[in-house]
Amino acid sequence: MKKDDLILSIKRLSDAFGISGFEDDVLTVIREEGIDLGVFSEDRMRNLYLHRPDYKEGLPTIQLNAHTDEVGFMVKAIRPDGMLEFIPIGGWIATNVPAHQVMVKNMAGDYIPAIVASKPPHFMTETERNAPLDISHMVLDVGASSSEEIINEYQIGIGAPVTPLVPCSYDAIHDTFIGKAFD
């Protein structure tokens, strides 16, 4: 595989959305990228296996383990004003969450852009401004102004997966990537 092709493959994997329990997009990319490498199978636990049809008896078997999920969020409530309350999926530090761009997967399977918002500082009390911000005080804003709009137009429901929007990029000078899900 040429380096340019490898870079594109890594970008596709990093850019795929797949919080825990919702890894379908990542598995699709893996299958597409590995189509010429062998035959894929999947078990009930959603483990994906690649079998080489040209395996010769007596040669060593190699196992490569990886996980396909990433940290993200899940919609836990829809407020009357159209804001979405959410819970973290995976390990998050609360100070890293505000102002993140995210994508909310709606009931039609489409991704809706949103921003993580919190109470503006000019509406906070002095005590609130000096206290650490908690994820429970943050919301997702997709631009809707009512819960009806969220449900009927955006087709977002409780339990919708939410993925950080961090497009993968490659720095050719330093031969490094910046993106999400590189653990």
Q: What's the pLDDT score for residue 108?
A: 98
Tokens 């329990």 appear where? 21
- Rounded to whole angstroms, the Cα distance separating 67 from 174 reads 26
The average confidence (pLDDT) of the chain is 94
Tell me the domains of the chain and their CATH numbers.
3-68 (no CATH), 72-164 (2.40.30.40)
* Cα distances (angstroms) measured from residue 131 to each of 100, 104, 125, 137, 159: 20, 28, 10, 12, 29
Residues 6+ apart with CB under 8 A from 106: 112, 154, 155, 156, 157, 160
pLDDT tens-digit profile of 130-169? 998 899 999 999 999 999 999 999 999 999 999 999 999 9
- Rounded to whole angstroms, the Cα distance separating 93 from 127 reads 21
pLDDT tens-digit profile of 80-91? 999 999 999 999
**E strand or H helix at 139, and its extent?**
strand 138-141
pLDDT tens-digit profile of 56-79? 888 888 888 888 999 999 999 999
Is residue 75 within 8 A of residue 159, CB to CB? The reply is yes
